[in-house]
Amino acid sequence: MENLPIFMNLKDRPALVVGGGTVAARKAELILLAGGKVTVIAPRVRNEMRRMIEDGRVEWREQSFGPGAVRGFRIVIAATDNDAVNRLVFDECERHAIPVNVADQPELCSFILPSIVERGPITIAVSTGGRSPILARLLKARLETLIPAGFGALADLLGRYRSAVKAHFAKLDDRKRFWERMLDGPLVNLATSGKVDEAERLIEQALRLPASPASEGGDVGRGEVWLIGAGPGDPDLLTLKALRLLQQADVVVYDKLVPEAIINLARREAERINVGKSMGHHTLPQDDINQLLVELARQGKRVARLKGGDPFVFGRGGEEMESVVAAGLPCLAVPGITAAAGCAASAGIPLTHRDCAQSVRFVTGHTRKDGMGLDWRALVAEGQTLVFYMGLSNVERICDHLKAHGMRADMPAAVIERGTLADQRVFAGTLATLPDIVRAEQPRSPSLIVVGEVVSLRERLGFVEAQCKRSADMALFAA
């Protein structure tokens, strides 16, 4: 370790910034955020710094830097384009034993300003020792995506209960075990999801337990179920929250259509249970899946229920949540990109378009009822796009019913096979031709059927789709 990471308290303490340009203004802003009192020494200042001076946020000494100017300051930052001035600032600070940072000149720094990730009272500093500020910013950006914004609220909550926990548990080891168990359970997700009141009640309940059982776990480590939308298939389309919970889960319960690449994002120690739901094949009936989720959570496990697309769009997520909640267990739904949105975008088909469709309907294409139990008159109305889920085996019936109820036979229609994945295929035609295309091409599940004028835009927007794929490849390469 080349530098000792230290968080310095600058509240109401004097700090000096030498320079009046854009970089100097950014440094002054950073010190102000930490509560410091900023003085600027510069013969001239640019607009950013001038606004700070006019607002009374910093004091300006309209002069050039000279010997003795650093006296009385706790830290000094130089941000000028004059190497001689920067060297003089460094030498003066060394002479008076004052910490100094010279922007973009690590050899003239006694401390380094890191890239910062901030969540309320939580501050994470990232530094490359001055070797590559751009790399530090890249690492910061990645950390920003991994740490939920609600962690600040969580830290505040823990701070409020620190004294109460200390009073409840006399021994340090007991306090440590208590907090470890609390942070290993539902508390984190409640607090970071904005449910601070529920998180407080959870702590209060735990503190009402006798000290010794609580220190051994008590009811603190009760299980919970997360209904996680896995999206349309591409792991890059998984939400940040879904990824975070997946990596915390003790058990992953998944359907057959969830890609292995997404399942493998779970931590290695997690148990994996395939409940195998797909068209015509059910490893477990839905009632048994509901009961399985309840039993696993009752064992104190954190259960990630992975479902393709969004759990509440033809995913029977409502039934599963109802069962878990009825059992008195916490259940959280994590939205996913539904297949209609993800697959249509990946295929270059906009679901709505000003000249073609002003609304979109998501319809189940999987039913054994005569007429499929659908309101076909409403489905053939103009100005809308239809997306049929689970309808591949019924594609001919769907097309026939639409035509029989008045939709023209040459209405554009398409099947999107394994949308968003590397082996995606799109078969475009019309209501009249699509069944024959499906028979000839034999697309696999999962597949979606899209019907509407917007399908005809695919060819016009094809170059956009290709550009998007190239851009994604370049972004992956750059990362």
Our CA angle for 393, 397, 399, nearest 5°, is 110
Active site residue 277: yes
Q: Position of tokens 């409940």?
A: 275
Active site residue 255: yes
Pinpoint the alpha helices (H) of 276-405: 286-298, 317-326, 339-346, 376-379, 395-404
CB 182 within 8 A of CB 201: no
Name every residue whose Cβ is closer than 8 Å to that of residue 306 and which is 6 or more positions away in sequence: 228, 230, 246, 252, 253, 254, 255, 258, 262, 263
CB 80 within 8 A of CB 19: yes
From 15, 44, 41, 42, select the one nearest 29 (Cα to Cα). Answer: 15
- Cα atoms found within 13 Å of the Cα of residue 429, Cβ hemisphere only: 18
User: Which is the catalytic residue, given 277, 301, 307, 310?
Assistant: 277
Distance CA 361, CA 358 (A): 11
User: Which is the catalytic residue, given 27, 234, 241, 255?
Assistant: 255
Count the Cβ atoms, other than its own, within 10 Å of residue 354: 7
Task: Report the interhelical angle of 196-207 vs 172-183 (nearest 10°).
Answer: 140
Angstrom distances, CA of residue 432 to CA of 214, 351, 404, 408: 67, 21, 12, 9
Instruction: For residue 418, list its beta bridge partners.
Output: none
Q: Position of tokens 């359907």?
A: 255
Please tell me what DSSP assigns to residue 22: H
CB 397 within 8 A of CB 372: yes
Catalytic residues: 255, 277
